[in-house]
Amino acid sequence: MPGFQQALSPPVAHRKKVWLWANKSTSVAVLLSIVMVLVGILLYLWPQVHLVTLGYRQSSLRTLRAQVLHKQKELQVERATLRHPARIEEIAIQRLGMQRPHISQIIYVRPTPHPPTPGREQ
């Protein structure tokens, strides 16, 4: 029977090679399929994640804009308060030692019309 085993040995060895080759190609196909599915999932999820990130950024920028607008209004009120004529008069009298002008010291000046400037419409 040794001849019988020798006769069967090459086809069995050939089957193992075929099985290993089929096993490798199947493994490669499965691995390639998994990679393609993962790439597909990433391509689907990346814009979604980016959209959520942009939403958070927009929200924080809106909050910052509201804070800046509030600060701008506060500064406008402070500017108006600082430029108020009564405050300026008070500082001139108390800190700088100035006095209110007498009626005879007040001179009214009428504005004169300016001649038209070439290239500018009135």
* Confidence band for 29, pLDDT divided at 50, 70 and 90: confident
Q: How many domains does the chain have?
A: 1
| Block residue for tokens 């020798």 | 6
The answer to whether residue 57 is domain-embedded is yes
The answer to whether residue 115 is domain-embedded is no
Amino acid type, 69: L
Q: Which domain holds residue 55?
A: 12-100
122 within 8 A of 116, measured Cβ to Cβ = yes
The answer to whether residue 56 is domain-embedded is yes
Nearest-angstrom CA–CA distance, 46 and 108: 72
Q: How far is CA 59 from the centre of its chain?
A: 10
Torsion angles phi and psi, residue 88, rounded to 5: -60, -40
pTM of the model: 0.49
pLDDT, tens digit (0-9, with 9 covering 90-100), for 71-104: 999 999 999 999 999 999 999 999 999 998 899 9
The answer to whether residue 5 is domain-embedded is no
The answer to whether residue 106 is domain-embedded is no
